[in-house]
Amino acid sequence: MNNSEPLTNRSPETFTGLRLAEPAKTAAGITAVVSSFRHILGGTNFWRGNKALLKLNQKDGFDCPSCAWPDPDGARSLVAEYCESGAKAVADEVMTSHTASPVLFQRYSVAELSGKSEYWLGQQGRLTHPMIRRPGGTHYEKISWADAFQFIGQSLNGLASPNEAVFYTSGRTSNEAAFLYQLFVRAYGTNNLPDCSNMCHESTTEAMTETLGLGKASVKLDDFEKAEVIVIMGQNPGTNAPRMLTALEAGKRNGAKIIAINPLIETGLLAFRNPQGVHDLLTGGTDLSDLYLQLRTNTDMQLLKALMKLLLDAEAERPGEVLDQEFIAQKTTGFSTLKDDLARYSLDDLSAQCGVSLDQLRAAADLLARHKRIIFCWAMGLTQHKNAVQGIRDIVNVLLLKGSIGIPGAGACPVRGHSNVQGDRTMGIYEKPKPAFLDQLKEVFGFEPPREPGFSTVEAVQAMHSGQARVFFGLGGNFASAVSDTDFTAEALRRCELTVQVSTKLNRSHLVTGKTALILPCLGRSDEDHQASGEQFVTMENTTGVVHQSNGALKPPSEHLLSEPAILAGLAKATLGANTPVVWDELVGNYDRIRDLIEKTLQGFENYNERVRQPGGFYLPNATRQGQFGTPDKKAKFTINEPDVWQLAEGEFLLMTVRSHDQFNTTVYGLNDRYRGVFNERRVLFMNAADIQAAGLQAYQVVDLHSHYPDASGVPQRRTARRFIVVPYNIPTRCLAAYFPETNPLIPIDQYAERSQTPISKSVRVTVAGLRTAEGQAEVAQVILE
């Protein structure tokens, strides 16, 4: 297949054999254990796989390459401190049955590889050698590390301005690598440091920084055991953060009430069978949600406003018993304005708009009214809407009404996705660095860093597409698949003079390339890392702000791999030459020296090397956790937020993207979504049965999805995601769900959340077109019902 062909054309003409079953009622359990070992043993031998699992998330082991959920505090974790998703991520990394060696690239041209699925690409195993695709070349070929660094350095130095280069970061990158990366990039002369946060929790950072002064979770892991009410919004922990279920179970057993708020009924919010708990295995597990509010897509703000109105009503009936008036008076601003604004709304209207009955809303509000130790958790179900920042600000409003910030068992808990995405931002991976950070870089390293803001992810794609940026360097991730507007993003990458990807495994971004393309294979999280001074470890920051070690435990799959710090040092030496702020080889030879520089540059890292060697690491400062706020006036801020009232045209639906149970971000481990009862296929469209009938469709009919957003001149542009199988499902009417990233082609690059520029992946206006056979009959897929 031609590499210049639009990626939206790369959908199957035939399907893999869809099987459907009833959605699961309980998450985890023995089935999850069996699945974990099946994935591990499917790609490597027993001893290597078992060693990897025993070291995963241990104090002397390596950090999970998937989610950022925290480990328990203390000297030692459980023997098996991992979940099914973590086991799949490790299995994907430690695979030895296949390697993506130069032989693979000799066998397959770039065009042939481009015709393969994301799943097939990942199953080819770990990359083993640096590879280059030269201008006009049909295949990748080997290149030495020295030649690769020299080529990149010459390309960067040949640009008219450093701002013509884009330096992207994935959340997999360690603190040490991230710090070196941003140091090199700023010494080179640009702040073009977009990262994966731009596509997921940037809305959280914007909302919480404005209202609380810090864009990070205000809770610790043990707060879940102390909470009285836990609210989970727009998150599917059973698939995306399964270790969180243990924390929910602990809270539940201590008497906490759990409110789940989601357009889909997700198994991981219903019940949990702890595979390490004899009690759970014998009794069938722990029921989790006491109240499940199945709202319409992107009506979270209506629901939150209804809850706030009901809390105000309860306070009027029982003055001083519902709201924390002392906290509001002493530590917040804007309460009276919020109260006046809420008076504009009708409870009946809010209930009708969100699709949740008044009785359910009153039941939820009553739980909040009677308790103070309340935790709100959320993820991308809230962050990926046009009004995402406002929605998260309304979560903060609820917490401030109750005074549920800065006390044990209460607070805000945005659940981060990738395992060090939060740490990368702490290290300075940000296109809009604060002046104080840049001032400190200048003081420590003796050069004047650039002050002009750089490109976000959206802006980087637009700059590459317009020719404003000509070189793309990706430190991890799968940029071509992760970013919205698939064809536009692909064309942007193809217009570059050079694209470079630092990766562990083959993915789509290696096949959507500039005129010249380089693949630089790096060590994975599980790999031993030996440098001049001996074996090294790296550090990570988890969701609750704990910085801890990660020690690779396995022999790397190839002697030709370099660590990320070593790759960045080679790049910096080749690019900066004598104009360098540090001796790069000394830093790579001993990562303690990198951490010494981090300590000098960033607050909260005092005695970094000493404290991170303590079991479990250390907590970074978190004023919000102490009830102190880093806003300009040192007070938390109530805000006024306007919900969108969706007016869908006839035949129009609101699509939300979701991940399957065999998936982490763009990495596809398999073709099953066990909890939702979907097997052996990813191109499915979850649709309400009444909507299927009203649209003149049939169950299991093959359809195309279209969006019709206008271009810059206001002319609607039809975008298409091809060939999905309609599956009747329990989802609110006029709402649809389908898997990411297959639906990314539907989302224009300029459709994003206000302020944060996070893509609107959870609320995409679409139409559905049923396909027909050559004989004019509805095309219906063969489906096995179990």
Tell me the pLDDT tens digit for each residue of 4-63. 556 655 556 678 799 999 999 887 666 766 666 566 666 666 667 667 666 666 777 777
Evaluate whether 782 touches 17 at the Cβ level (below 8 Å): yes
Beta bridge partners of 499: 472, 517
Report pTM: 0.95
Task: Give the dihedral of Cα atoms 108, 113, 117, 118; nearest 10 deg.
Answer: 110
Q: How far is CA 739 from the centre of its chain?
A: 14
Calculate what percentage of the chain has a pLDDT beyond 90. Answer: 79
Residue with the two structure tokens 């694209």: 499
Beta bridge partners of 168: 474
Mean pLDDT on 764-770: 98
For residue range 547-560, what is the model confidence (pLDDT) as tens digits?
999 888 889 999 99
CA–CA–CA angle 82, 88, 93 (5° rounding): 105
- Of 72, 87, 216, which is closest to residue 543 (Cα–Cα)? 216
Q: What is the pLDDT of residue 95?
A: 61
Q: Find the range with the poorest average confidence among 85-89, 450-454, 493-497, 551-555.
A: 85-89
Evaluate whether 696 touches 655 at the Cβ level (below 8 Å): no
- Give the pair of three-digit tokens for residue 710: 């206008």
The residues near 583 (Cβ < 8 Å, ≥ 6 apart) are none
Report the b/e string of 217-233 with b at 16+ CB within 10 A.
bbbbbbbbbbbbbbbbb
Task: Label residue 243 by pLDDT band (50, 70, 90).
Answer: confident
Q: What is the pLDDT of residue 65?
A: 73
Q: What is the pLDDT of residue 1?
A: 43
Grouping H, G, I as helix, E, B as strand and the rest as coil, residue 20 is strand
* Residue 78 predicted with pLDDT over 60: no
Evaluate whether 770 touches 701 at the Cβ level (below 8 Å): yes
